[in-house]
Amino acid sequence: MGVIQFFSHGANVNSQTFGIYLNPNVGAVFQGYANNYNTGVSVAVNTWHHIAVCYNEGFQLKVYRDGVQVGINTINLNTAFSSFKLGNATVPMEFYDLKNI
């Protein structure tokens, strides 16, 4: 199994992407395009997990798995005027809830 993209927002330019993907070798990775952050979160196939990615204007990124904070990082992103992509075409997946708050 290769890399599975959950979602992404932004351009393919350094620090202009906000997203998360699953790399089978390292787990869930926050995507900042050339500024990625390996969260260390493992996700088993055919298992439901609640993954939350929070980013605030203070450049603080927090990642939660099933309500438990599993990663924190400081990153400066600029995703203004960008497109939003959900999932990828090679792996079937289901999304229960997606919010922009």
Q: Residue 78 domain-assigned?
A: yes
Q: pLDDT (tens digit, 9 = 90+) per residue, 27-66?
A: 888 877 777 888 877 777 777 878 788 877 678 888 888 8
Mind listing the pLDDT tens digit for each residue in 62-79?
888 889 998 888 888 776
What is the DSSP secondary-structure string of 1-51? Answer: ---EEEEEEE-SSTT-EEEEEEETTTEEEEE-SSS-EEEEE---TT----E
Residue 10 included in any domain? yes
Number of structural domains the chain divides into: 1
98 belongs to a structural domain = no
Q: What is the pTM of this model?
A: 0.64
